[in-house]
Structure 1
Amino acid sequence: MNLNFPFKKKTEDSKPQQSRKREWLNALVFALVASTLIRGLIFSAYAIPSGSMEGTLLTGDYLFVSKMSYGARMPFTPVQNPFLESTITKYQIKTYWDGIHLPYFRLPGLTEIKKGDIVVFNKPEEADPSYDRPVDVRTNLIKRCQATPGDVLSILNGQVFVNGKAAPNAEKAQTSYHVVTDGNTINPEIFDDMGIEIIGQEDLSSYTMIIPTASLSEFKGYSYIKKVTPVIDPAGHFDAEIFPHNEKYKWNMDNFGPLTLPKKGMTISLNESSLILYRRAIELYEHNRVDTAGNDILINGKKADHYTFKMDYYWMMGDNRHNSLDSRFWGYVPEDHVIGKAMITWLSIDSAENLLHKVRWNRVLKPIR
């Protein structure tokens, strides 16, 4: 007896096959999701565009930045293109949509920010309302942490002090000097070999130069160098560009403080002097409305004689002390602006060299300290 069934087992050949376009689309979506997760949670690549960290980091260095070290920060602005700058072209076209704004949240990290760490963070200055940019699409900066929450920071004649003790200077830190020569022309190759940059010349024998610490002794030894003295803005000279931009505090980039860094849970008394120092944090970073009425200080419309901070704050400075816009200019860095820790230089390009010598091979895969 033969039984004929109306169905039969499908063979491999009868399975629907994906089109080439569908395969490419699936692969593209997978790569996009995987790279976004890696970039958002584990590490990202950044480039050094300026000389504020020379000679520790050079213009043209490409870095891997660990987001796991301090804990990955979840996006404030989830709808954005993670592979482009926040604005592109001369017309400042946005690559994000700020219609959705999420609260600050950070995953647990492997460690905390320590003094001496080289940190990537969003530019605090762009918290000003005139910029109108969410935290995570503000300009990325890289500096060295000099002080952590609760520390008392001072700068005396260019030397940073933390809690009354001189902070270690970076091994390859550099600053500016006034140089007097015998008037003879200096071979330009000397400047290239020693990493010296001329930033000003008063006459045939007087210069202002940025000189790396490691080159200073050798440079002083040349017979045509008559005098080398550090350029120091004297104590008591008020520089309006320096935080907190108020003549009550006559501070400058070489003589500054003392200033106590805000710490989560720390309570301060509110008065005219303390408000000058901490209003920016209370108002712009911790999102309160601050007003004054006569001698009274109002927080969100209520009279207040004290304030308790909700976040930790850090002090970041460039190793190239006289060529760095840093915390001395815009104040402390809130914890929600921190992106990650700079770990390794994976590539370094010298744009001034020819094609055969563009890559600085001695900096490839170099750990950052």
Structure 2
Amino acid sequence: MNWKFLSRTNTASAKPKSAIREWLHAIGFALVVSTIIRGLLFSAYAIPSGSMEGTQLTGDYLFVSKISYGPRIANTPLAIPFLEPKVGNFKTYWDGLQLPYLRLPGLSHIKNQDIVVFNKPDEAGPEYNLPTDERTCLIKRCQAIPGDVLSIVNSQVYINGKAAPNAPKLQTSYTVVTNGLDINTEVINELRIAILGQTAPNTFVMNMSVAAANTIKTYSNVKSIVADFQTSGRYDAAIFPHHENFKWNLDNYGPIRLPKKGWTVSLTDSTLTLYRRAIEVYENNKVAVNGKNILINGSKASSYTFKMDYYWMMGDNRHNSLDSRYWGYVPEDHIVGKAMLTIFSTDSTKNVFSRVRWDRVLRPIE
């Protein structure tokens, strides 16, 4: 009997991979791993505008933790990683496959005063036709969480009737009157003061922090410095909910209750004005008004129960920030993650040798 098959060895050697195949496999593996890490754990984001000055500066590069509030599974899984939604006229994603909203458990929940990265709710409308995870990313400070009642009085935020802490470097606009002598340009730059306009030869509108205002006040050529507020009762059509029955503006707003998952609100003309966008756009219902009747998905409704939590986000640069005062609540499915660390920072107005802000490198965010 022939037993050779028991001791048979495979002497055929595997064909070695070419250098090109080795590189392609390595690149493919790196892309898969980086995509998983970026999608589930953390990402890096750059700040393009000054809405968070002077807490976060234009040119800051941030480490954003997605696991803090729970990783959001991509709504649009077929997308080219690390690219903007559009490059020229070319879409970098395929919206033919859209997954429902799903968020994995996180380490914590969003708290008041957290600095949060999220997708822009203003781009949720049909005129944009963008999947949630392909909308512009913004960074703001969370002022109110689900169930909170928010109001703003002379630019001071109140949550549930109590004054909210102001960011240490919160900025707002001031009217500065001098004796005719200009304020030193080096001082303006050092204190990160932005001159917004000039209303008279010796009167300027400046954007700055409270600390900078207190410093400027001590200068002999400064006659007065007064914080600028829009008066209570002045209607601003650009401010949410964009209705003249709610005479709100940037500095005097509310009160308004943030929707909370499971909260049932009675539907009236007023509450529908406040919450219609959440009901219709974010929670995908058809809303109509027929005489005195409110119809949701074709049925008469006297109340509505919310399916998601909602947050109120505002920039620390109060008079130079497009935020919830303009477009309302941020739904939970738009939340990306928590800003944790400034990993790098550059100032494009400086020359190449002094462009890096070394004092901001690896700086915790608070």
> 3-state DSSP class of the match of 1:214?
helix
Give the aligned residue type for 2:21. Answer: R
Displacement of 1:81: 1.1
Give the aligned residue type for 2:46. Answer: A
> 3-state DSSP class of the match of 2:195?
strand
Q: Choose from 252, 257, 261 the match for 1:260.
A: 257
Q: String of CA shifts for 1:7-45, please: whole Å, max 9, x gaps.
A: 997698933211111111110110010000000000000
Question: Is the counterpart of residue 61 in structure 1 residue 55 in structure 2?
Answer: no
Q: String of CA shifts for 1:293-336, please: whole Å, max 9, x gaps.
A: 00000000000000000000000000000000000000000000
Q: String of CA shifts for 1:62-113, please: whole Å, max 9, x gaps.
A: 0010000000000111111121011112xx3211110011100000000000
Q: Where does structure 2 lack aligned partners over 5 or more consecutive residues?
A: none
Q: Distance in 2 between matches of 1:9 and 1:217?
A: 88
Match of 2:15 in 1: 16
Question: Is the counterpart of residue 154 in structure 1 residue 155 in structure 2?
Answer: no
Please list, as runs of the form range in 1=range in 2, the aligned pairs for 1:340-359 lying within 5 A after superposition: 340-359=337-356
Q: String of CA shifts for 1:257-308, please: whole Å, max 9, x gaps.
A: 0000000000000010100000000000000000000000000000000000
Stretches of 4+ aligned residues off by more than 6 angstroms: 5-13
Q: Choose from 116, 124, 137 the match for 2:134.
A: 137
Match of 2:299 in 1: 302
Q: String of CA shifts for 1:132-189, please: whole Å, max 9, x gaps.
A: 1010000000000000000000000000000000000001111000111111122211
Match of 2:33 in 1: 34
Residues 13 and 362 of structure 1: CA distance in aligned 2, closer, same or farther (over 3 Å): farther
Q: Distance in 2 between matches of 1:101 and 1:11?
A: 48
Q: Choose from 90, 94, 103 the match for 1:97.
A: 94
Displacement of 1:198: 0.1
Match of 1:178 in 2: 175
Q: Distance in 2 between matches of 1:37 and 1:14?
A: 34
Match of 1:331 in 2: 328
> 3-state DSSP class of the match of 2:17?
coil
Give the aligned residue type for 2:275. Answer: Y
Q: Distance in 2 between matches of 1:136 and 1:283?
A: 19
Q: Which moved more, 1:178-187 or 1:34-43?
A: 178-187
Residues 350 and 252 of structure 1: CA distance in aligned 2, closer, same or farther (over 3 Å): same
> 3-state DSSP class of the match of 2:186?
helix
Displacement of 1:355: 1.1
Q: Choose from 267, 280, 284 the match for 1:283.
A: 280
> 3-state DSSP class of the match of 2:353?
helix
Residues 10 and 22 of structure 1: CA distance in aligned 2, closer, same or farther (over 3 Å): farther
Match of 2:84 in 1: 85
Give the aligned residue type for 2:293. Answer: D
Give the aligned residue type for 1:367. Answer: P
Q: Distance in 2 between matches of 1:82 and 1:316?
A: 27
Match of 1:47 in 2: 46
| RMSD of Structure 2 on Structure 1 (CA) | 1.6
Q: Which moved more, 1:49-58 or 1:176-185?
A: 176-185
Aligned residue-pair number: 365
Please list, as runs of the form range in 1=range in 2, the aligned pairs for 1:207-218 lying within 5 A after superposition: 207-218=204-215
> 3-state DSSP class of the match of 1:357?
coil
Q: Distance in 2 between matches of 1:316 and 1:228?
A: 28
Residues 12 and 144 of structure 1: CA distance in aligned 2, closer, same or farther (over 3 Å): farther
Question: Is the counterpart of residue 241 in structure 1 residue 242 in structure 2?
Answer: no
Displacement of 1:218: 1.1
> 3-state DSSP class of the match of 1:120?
strand
> 3-state DSSP class of the match of 2:231?
coil
> 3-state DSSP class of the match of 2:224?
strand
Q: Distance in 2 between matches of 1:208 and 1:25?
A: 57
Q: Distance in 2 between matches of 1:309 and 1:355?
A: 51
Percent identity between matched residues is 61
Q: Distance in 1 between matches of 2:344 and 2:112?
A: 26
Question: Is the counterpart of residue 108 in structure 1 residue 115 in structure 2?
Answer: no
Q: String of CA shifts for 1:322-356, please: whole Å, max 9, x gaps.
A: 00000000000000000000000110011111111
Q: Distance in 1 between matches of 2:341 and 2:173?
A: 27
> 3-state DSSP class of the match of 2:204?
strand
Match of 1:222 in 2: 219
Q: Distance in 2 between matches of 1:224 and 1:198?
A: 16
Please list, as runs of the form range in 1=range in 2, the aligned pairs for 1:316-327 lying within 5 A after superposition: 316-327=313-324
Question: Is the counterpart of residue 187 in structure 1 residue 184 in structure 2?
Answer: yes
Q: Distance in 2 between matches of 1:100 and 1:241?
A: 35
Q: Which moved more, 1:21-30 or 1:50-59?
A: 21-30
> 3-state DSSP class of the match of 1:336?
helix
Q: Distance in 2 between matches of 1:12 and 1:110?
A: 53
Give the aligned residue type for 2:13. Answer: S
Displacement of 1:193: 1.1
